Amino acid sequence: MRNFLITAVLALGYLYLAAPAGAQAYRAPRAFDGHPDLNGIWEALNTANWDLEDHSPAPGTMWETGAIGAQPAGMTVVEGGAIPYLPAALAKKKENLANRRAADPEAKCYMPGIPRANYMPYPFQIVQSPQGILFVYEYASANRLVNMGKPFEAGADSWMGTNNGHWEGETLVIDVTGLNGLAWFDRAGDYATDNLHVVERFTPMDATHLNYEATIEDSKVFSRPWKISMPLYRRVEKNAQLLEFKCVEFAEELLYGQFKKK
């Protein structure tokens, strides 16, 4: 009997250690409203802004800069590996890629759109308040306010969309509509139209990580809804804060060069 008990205890211990981390529920500290406290500065540490799918290292858009601005290799953040484009839409994506030096909205310092704002190589801040949840992005001073009250429809299309949120246990769920279809998902030319619908999920994994998921649907471009997922990392260095990155002045020649007097 003693040997049996010892064996049983060891077996249970092994199963506990072997269980995936996600199976061990984490309960985040509470905010003022009793829901998980997501306040803080967060950042994605991956190459999704270059390309959501698997990609090799490649030169940047300007050969003159050599390795400066080159594309790093990266692994897909798309569930299943590939984006399910319709044939005509895939051809448009390839056209975008060929013209990315001037066509990528990031190059012109336009608003990043959703979901791209969350995985650009710049931090962003989440601020919870009684009225809603504010997302403030370092890139181009973009922002959006998530309505946590009664959902309302988009009055007009915009870069950052209309955001209605609710809680599902530990997860903040944001339903994003009213997107104008002008933003790209990455520098590889992946795109959608103004028919885009995004559902985001932010789930605390531990004190310094959020799991981010976005389900993307646009029947004009994709054969079915598809999902991306990635961790977001809390910035914990001393005096962590958002700095200013107003990039319009860097894009003036690209935006307005044709209007200069000869």
Identify how many contiguous H helices and E strands the chain contains and give both numbers. 4, 9
- Record the tokens describing residue 182, joined without a space: 């002008």
| Cα distance between residue 191 and residue 20, in whole Å | 34
Q: Any idea what the CATH number is for the domain that residue 201 is in?
A: 2.40.128.20
- Record the tokens describing residue 220, joined without a space: 């004009």
Residue 153 counted as domain residue: yes
Residue 8 counted as domain residue: no
| Cα distance between residue 52 and residue 222, in whole Å | 15
Domains in the chain: how many in total?
1
Residue 198 counted as domain residue: yes
How high is the mean pLDDT in each 10-residue block of the chain (262 residues)?
54 50 75 94 98 95 85 97 98 96 94 98 94 96 96 96 97 98 98 98 98 98 98 96 93 82 62
Range of the domain at 237: 36-259
Residue 14 counted as domain residue: no
Buried b (16+ CB within 10 A) or exposed e, 8-27: eeeeeeeeeeeeeeeeeeee
| pLDDT computed for residue 5 by the predictor | 53
Residue 236 counted as domain residue: yes
Residue 27 counted as domain residue: no
Residue 6 counted as domain residue: no
Instruction: Kindly report the pTM of this predicted structure.
Output: 0.88
CB-based contacts of 192: which residues, under 8 Å, 6+ apart? Answer: 179, 181, 185, 216, 218, 220, 221, 222
Residue 10 counted as domain residue: no
| Residues 28 and 37: beta-carbon distance below 8 Å | yes
| Residues 86 and 75: beta-carbon distance below 8 Å | no
